[in-house]
Amino acid sequence: MAFVDPLTVMLLSLGLSALFVALYLLGKGMNKKWVSSLVVPIFVLGLFNFVSGFMMSFMWPLPGAYNMLFGDPLLFFGLIMMAGAYMHSRNISVNSLSLFGLFLGIYLAVEAAGMYAFNLESGQYFLPAFSLYVFAALSGIFSPLVFANTKGSGRYAYYFLFILLLITALLAFFIGYAGIYGHLQSPP
């Protein structure tokens, strides 16, 4: 059986996930009730991220560093998303998950440094890939800002995270769609 590279759909899921989490934070910062309508899509995307990240981490037929580079953080982000959707549906504050986001952000910052130091990505997609990891890392590192009060100036912390995650989503979409085009041009 031929090897099929699912990385493009995983990148598109990452983009959608970052977008939905960004919209959730924007809605929370504005104290909007419509954030509840995002819970099911966030859970479903989180489940997909967890399963595909798990598959990549443990069954991907490429060298191990690439498994860690994308599979591990996607798996962990999926867990955070599923936990957040569950907690929101049970009226439990999701703010404590930002500490997991901080951990993931540090992990991604180390991976961004490793990507550069060990030349794990090169060529025309280095800058978008490196930027994706940097903005995803910053999103995680600054995620404890959600402990800010959404009244008054505290809501700007939510807007800041929204912007970081929106940039992350756009980078993931760009790389994912470029990957689809590249795979169609020369299938693996």
Q: Is 158 part of any domain? A: yes
Residue of 168, 186, 185 whose CA lies nearest to 17: 168
pLDDT at 3: 56
**Predicted local confidence at residue 1, as pLDDT:** 42
Answer yes or no: is 107 within a domain.
yes
Beta-carbon contacts of 141 under 8 Å, excluding residues fewer than 6 positions away, are: 102, 105, 106, 109
The verdict on residue 1 lying in a domain is no
Residue 60's pLDDT is what?
77
Q: What is the pLDDT along the chain (188 residues), one digit of tens a residue?
A: 455 678 899 999 999 999 999 999 999 999 899 999 999 999 999 999 999 999 988 887 666 688 889 999 999 999 999 999 999 999 999 999 999 999 999 999 999 999 999 998 888 889 999 999 999 999 999 999 988 777 778 889 999 999 999 999 999 999 999 988 887 887 66
Token digits of residue 187: 């299938």
Residue 37 in domain: yes
State the total domains in the chain.
Answer: 1
Report if residue 138 sits inside a domain. yes
Q: Which residue range is the domain that position 163 belongs to?
A: 7-185
Residue 94 lies in a domain: yes
Residue 47: give its domain's CATH number: 1.25.40.600
For residues 104 and 73, the answer to whether their CB atoms sit within 8 Å is: yes
Task: Compute how many other C-beta atoms are within 10 angstroms of the C-beta atom of residue 11.
Answer: 24
Q: Are 70 and 7 in contact (CB under 8 A)?
A: yes
Residue 55 falls within a domain, yes or no? yes
Kindly report the pTM of this predicted structure: 0.94
Domain membership of residue 133 (yes or no) is yes
